[in-house]
Amino acid sequence: MNKFQKDIHDYLDYLKYQKNYSPLTIDGYQRDIEQFTVYLIEQNINSFGDVEYAFLRGYLTKLHQENLSAKTINHKMSSLRGFYRYLLNQELIVDNPFLLVDSLKEPQRNPDFLYIDEMIALLDSIEINTSLGRRNKAMLELMYASGLRCSEVVELTIPQIDFSRQLLLIHGKGNKDRYVPFHDYAAQWLKDYMSEDRKELMAKKHQEHSYVFVNKLGGKMTNRGVEDIVNRVMQHFDATKKIHPHTFRHSFATHLLQQGIDIRVVQELLGHTNLSTTQVYTHITNQHLKEVYDHAHPRNK
């Protein structure tokens, strides 16, 4: 193991055992750091401590030439800034040149969502004449009912479901737990799927685990699997539109705010640490109100 690999290995252990970061987050850090390391080797840089600000400008130019978005470049810089902060704290380097790199300005992008009638129609269009179809129905109804992230629905286990109170205990980003409710309609689909279809799917390969949503062989669902299901369901409903799993979460938040729910309640349900993260949805609802107003006001005809 060379010096680069040892420093990276030690940092990833630090993220896992001391910071309690999720495997997905750690994988992202590892990719960003290893990509940077490849560039160092190409430029004959022998250690992380030899990197100076002028060198980083060359790396930023390389990232721009790869046509990466400002958001992606900022994410990579954030990963490396954190890594260098760790190296500095461990006294493996003498300064952190990434502190001199300003974040790029990102274009404002509103979360995509479906209107209420579109979402209901989409969910009602799901084929339910097979075990996989009923699994899809239960899963997407729950995602919309509770505003779950894709990773949260994938990692959901049976002990996290309280049917008596109709609550889910969700282990969210940064190992932050929260309780979120789910309504009667989602509860019924979830119960039916778990009592019949889940058992049928798991029996195919004699699977035994507590994950709620399973693939066609009864194994644990993956993020990619959920994305494929969402794509197929939308393709069947409206082939001209493309959505992703987060659309259900965005729609959940937008619809609650449109119905007058306090933004701090929505913040709690989504598991946002900062209210500013939730406030992006108020822009969407205000925009929607303006569209309704423009369409309805007699003087605007």
Q: Which residues are catalytic?
A: 149, 173, 246, 249, 272, 281
Distance CA 113, CA 128 (A): 24
Tell me the β-bridge partners of 179: 169
Give the burial class of 238: count Cβ atoms within 10 A of its Cβ; 0-12 exposed, 13-18 middle, 19 or more buried.
Answer: middle
**If you ran DSSP here, which 8-state letter would residue 181 be given?**
E
Distance CA 129, CA 33 (A): 47
Tell me the β-bridge partners of 171: 177
Distance CA 191, CA 182 (A): 12
* Helix (H/G/I), strand (E/B), else coil: 207: coil
Closest residue by Cα to residue 98 from 59, 43, 61, 63: 59
Distance CA 120, CA 115 (A): 9
* Helix (H/G/I), strand (E/B), else coil: 80: helix
